[in-house]
Amino acid sequence: MNFLHGIQLVIILSTLFFLVLGLTPVFQKLLAAPLPDKIRKIFGEHVQREMNSRTYLMSLIAFHILGFFILFFMQIFQHVLPLNPNQLPAVTWDLAINTAVSFITNTNWQAYSGETSMSHFTQMLGLGVQNFLSAAVGICGVLVLVRGLTRSQTRLIGNFWEDLIKSTLFILLPLSFVLTPILMSQGIPQTFEGKAKIVQRDQSPHLMQDIPVGPVASQVAIKQLGTNGGGYYGVNSAHPLENPTPVSNFFQLLAILLIPAILVLVFGRMIGDVRHGRALFITMVLFLALGLWGSFWSEFNYGTLEGKETRFGIFGSTVWSVFTTAASNGSVNAMHDSMSPLSGGIQLFNMMLGEVIFGGVGSGLYGMVLFVVLSVFLSGLMVGRSPEYQGKRIETPEMIATVIALFLPSLVVLIGTAVTLTYPTALKSLGNPGVHGFSEIVYAWTSAANNNGSAFGGLNANTPFFNIGLSIAMIIGRFGVLIPVIYISGRLAQKIKAPKTSGTFSTHSPLFIVLLFFVIVLVGGLTFFPTLTLGPILEHFMLISKKV
């Protein structure tokens, strides 16, 4: 990486931190404030009463079931629905299931090319709406966790519908209104037309090319801000109409980490421990910095421009690949299948940690808090004290729920990979044989189980086996973590908050940051070390020995 690339990275990160620090107090006020009376009257009594953890969870699950069926039937009947200027046919049943599950779980795994598979109606009112709602649900998970840590002797942890409405109307929608015009100014389409007729340069006017267009800019804005990643076009932000210029690339990069980074600091403010929020932020930045360094070293020593857009180059593609896998975003501006082996391994490692390096909107933060709970439990065992987190005792039920949430996605990845390797029909979907093909399989299951949605790109996942299998992985990855978080929050809200003493383990000291860092590496990383050894690490050594 040369000096110019270093300056570009400094500009990206400094702009991001400036926005994060500036917007953190604003986010705190918006999330802590009650809904205005006019909005309460519109939505009725459903937003009036606070809920216990069971009612909150039932409301959340019912909301997702309804969203699944609406999005599923939109795809099945899109050929008879309006806003289909290109006359696209109905989506097959297995792909419709996969896409519906993908978007309601904030995974946005795409086994299809949007411009040739989804109508404007489906893209805008189906996928686009879920981009807002699935991100808002992640913020709901953070809010119930805040209430669990700050309330005492109560079963009430808030109202799901109020949290959902506030997150959507006060956070996601305004930011999308700001970003969309910026993207439109760079040439990203925003239209209800079906195709744009382009006359190729130096050719006869009669030789035209039809380029699919549509309401692209608005979907790109929320796909980045909501860490969704579901692109309008099949190649996502590598498409010249979805990400045409370095300026559009810059703003989309900022949007990937913006809300997840803000929520970490907001969390510290809302629980009354700003220093703890900073400690979590520093831990995440440390992982991000190491990932950037490793990917840069690998790409500039062993990478090529194959699979990358020349308008972004190796540097722009590498930064995006680290940001998108650290933030559970899943969008791409280059084909990850073409990255150098160790760079692809870092992308895998970012996801295998549980998407806690900032992670998805809300989901990355509550995933990190689960690691914090595990860390304070281990520290309590080492010094012979009852483990506490923010004055709340951590007991057996909380630890069981924490272990389930941390290990379920890992279990899904390993089982899914093993089943795929023993199923001949599934192996026919591989784009590459040998070690790289193994990495493609592991990447698909890791991306689905951790709700990332990016792909190596060499695997044909649009088959009944992968559509259904990865749908199951996405459901477990989302709700296998979110349900334990709500359960833990409900239990913590019932406990009395103990005052700090000289023996209380500090959750903002350098020692805590080091402990948390290594707990994440040991629990999240070493679980997959044999898998990474058989895939990217082995491929790297084969590359340097000129056997690839």
Per-residue pLDDT tens digits for 387-412: 899 999 999 999 999 999 999 999 99
Range from 284-288, 346-350, 505-509 carrying the lowest mean pLDDT = 505-509
- Is 390 inside any structural domain? yes
Per-residue confidence (pLDDT) for residue 527, from 0 to 100: 87
Give long-range contacts, CB 8 A cutoff, 24+ apart: 269-275. Answer: 269/24, 269/25, 269/28, 270/28, 270/31, 270/32, 270/146, 270/150, 271/146, 271/149, 271/150, 271/390, 272/150, 273/390, 273/507, 273/508, 275/508
- Over the stretch 275-291, which tens digit does the pLDDT of each residue have? 999 999 999 999 999 99
Q: DSSP string covering 421-458, please?
A: HT-HHHHTT-SS-HHHHHHHHHHHHHHHHTT-----S-
Band (pLDDT 50/70/90 cuts) for residue 107 is: very high
Per-residue confidence (pLDDT) for residue 200, from 0 to 100: 63
Residue 214 in tokens: 């549509």
Question: How many Å separate Cα 393 from the centre of its chain?
Answer: 30
CA–CA gap between residue 417 and residue 535 (Å, rounded): 12
Q: Where are the alpha helices (DSSP H) in 271-421?
A: 274-302, 313-326, 341-352, 363-383, 396-421
Please tell me the total count of domains within the chain: 1
**Percent of the chain at pLDDT exceeding 90:** 80
CA–CA gap between residue 160 and residue 136 (Å, rounded): 10
pLDDT at residue 382 tops 90:
no
pLDDT at residue 26 tops 90:
yes
Per-residue confidence (pLDDT) for residue 548, from 0 to 100: 67
Per-residue confidence (pLDDT) for residue 57, from 0 to 100: 96
- Is 314 inside any structural domain? no
Residue ranges making up the domain that contains 392: 362-544
Per-residue confidence (pLDDT) for residue 39, from 0 to 100: 85
Helix (H, G, I), strand (E, B) or coil at 395: coil
pLDDT at residue 186 tops 80:
yes
- Is 494 inside any structural domain? yes
- Over the stretch 407-424, which tens digit does the pLDDT of each residue have? 999 999 999 999 999 999
- Is 196 inside any structural domain? no
Range from 32-41, 46-55, 87-96, 191-200 carrying the lowest mean pLDDT = 191-200
Range from 280-284, 323-327, 527-531 carrying the lowest mean pLDDT = 527-531
- Is 200 inside any structural domain? no
Question: What global pTM score does this model have?
Answer: 0.95
Per-residue confidence (pLDDT) for residue 523, from 0 to 100: 84
- Is 269 inside any structural domain? no
- Is 500 inside any structural domain? yes
Taking every pair of Cα atoms in the chain, the longest distance, rounded to a whole number of angstroms, is: 82
Per-residue confidence (pLDDT) for residue 205, from 0 to 100: 59
Is the torsion defined by CA of 93, 121, 329, 459 positive or negative? Answer: positive
- Is 17 inside any structural domain? no
Per-residue confidence (pLDDT) for residue 54, from 0 to 100: 96
Q: DSSP string covering 93-131, please?
A: HHHHHHHHHHHHTT----SS-HHHH--HHIIIIIIIHHH
Per-residue confidence (pLDDT) for residue 199, from 0 to 100: 62
CA–CA gap between residue 143 and residue 170 (Å, rounded): 14
Per-residue confidence (pLDDT) for residue 46, from 0 to 100: 76
Q: What is the mean pLDDT of the chain?
A: 92
